[in-house]
Amino acid sequence: MFNFTYGGIDFAHKSDAASSPTESYYKHVHAFNEILYFVEGDVAYTVESETKTLVPGDLVLIAPGKFHFATVNSDVKYERYVLKFPTALLPKFLGERISTLNPFFGSVKEHSASFKRLDSYHNYGNFTQDELTAMFMSETIKLLIALSKAPAAQPHQINTVIAEVIQYIDENIRQPISLDSLCTAFHFSKSYLSNEFKRYMKVSIMQYVRTKKIIAAHQLILAGEKKSYVAEQFGFDNYSTFYRQYVRLLKEDALLIPPQESESE
């Protein structure tokens, strides 16, 4: 087992048990990529509207901005590798390619050697932190290239209502989105849409919308756009509100550095 955080990455080999999963197991969203390689346990994993009961050798690829959580079903050992890394550390072609992939990959045990090498590099090698970062990312890039050419696994469950709502939000992320506008678009009552979304996603629908807007805005800021311009593009009438939410997201994200510009930018 290991935990390595350095140079913009956070890689870990973890094993624990949780009869009552804590907040750390669910309701995650972040602005970096994450790979979860499942070794053993009794776990169902949800990425946006899709859920799969994991079997040993399954891999979950979580793109930036995708809500995800694990449901740990019993008090058994839950062992997995968790690799977190920003898109900026990938070749441009690969970052663009993996952004279009489905999240679940099954029967990837042939890639288990890649993960075992991570253990070997960290626990038995005599490497500097910079060397480890380079070697970890080299293994990750090779793995992602292989995954981009492999068939995705089918989830065991897809909530079609949630899938359609999420697709609508993604396609209209720069437009004003409210509970009223969503109910009008889908002909649902406010109570039904709010309750169904919260039940499945473990987060309120408007919190989901705000977070998705902040992460989409973050991608433009990384590309060089001014924060004030980006806030306007995503419908934030109050720049101070946008800035506070943006900084809060980055502070909660251990891989990202809070912005250096002043709030008045």
What is the DSSP track for 177-205? --HHHHHHHHT--HHHHHHHHHHHHSS-H
Taking residues 36-46, report their average pLDDT. 92
Average pLDDT, the chain: 85
Q: Please, are residues 46 and 71 in contact by the beta-carbon 8 Å criterion?
A: yes
Q: Whose CA is closest to 257, among 220, 228, 218? A: 218
How many CB atoms neighbour CB 161 within 10 A? 16
What does the alpha-carbon distance between residue 199 and residue 165 come to, in Å, rounded to a whole number?
14
Q: Give me the mean pLDDT over the 47-66 stretch.
A: 91
| Domain 159-252 CATH class label | mainly alpha
State the Cα angle at 246 between 241 and 247, rounded to 5°. 105
User: What confidence score (pLDDT) does residue 201 get?
Assistant: 85
Q: Which of 15-24, 29-38, 109-118, 134-143 has the highest mean pLDDT?
A: 134-143
Q: Which pLDDT score, from 0 to 100, does residue 259 have? A: 37
pLDDT in tens, 90-113: 999 999 898 888 899 886 667 888
Q: Provide mean pLDDT across the span 120-145.
A: 95
Ranges in the chain annotated CATH 2.60.120.280 = 2-148
Residue 252: predicted pLDDT: 62
Q: How many CB atoms lie within 10 A of CB 110?
A: 10
Domain(s) labelled CATH 1.10.10.60 in the chain stretch across 159-252
Examine the pLDDT at 257 and tell me if it is beyond 70: no
Q: What is the largest CA-CA distance in the chain?
A: 61
For 206-238, how does the pLDDT look when each residue is reduced to its tens digit (9 = 90+)? 989 988 898 888 888 888 888 888 888 888 888
pLDDT reading at 14 higher than 60: yes
Residue 27 above 70 pLDDT? no
Beta bridge partners of 61: 35
Query: Any idea what the Cα angle at residue 16 is, between residues 11 and 21, rounded to 5°?
Result: 100
Where does the pLDDT of residue 18 fall: very low under 50, low under 70, confident under 90, or very high at 90 and above? low
Least confident of 5-14, 237-246, 252-261: 252-261
Order of all β-strands in the sheet with 78-85: 2-6, 9-16, 78-85, 33-40, 59-62, 104-105
**CA dist., res. 105 & res. 34, Å (int):** 13
What number does CATH give the domain 2-148? Answer: 2.60.120.280
User: Which residues neighbour 227 within 8 Å (Cβ) at sequence distance 6 or greater?
Assistant: 217, 221, 239, 242, 243, 246, 259, 261, 265
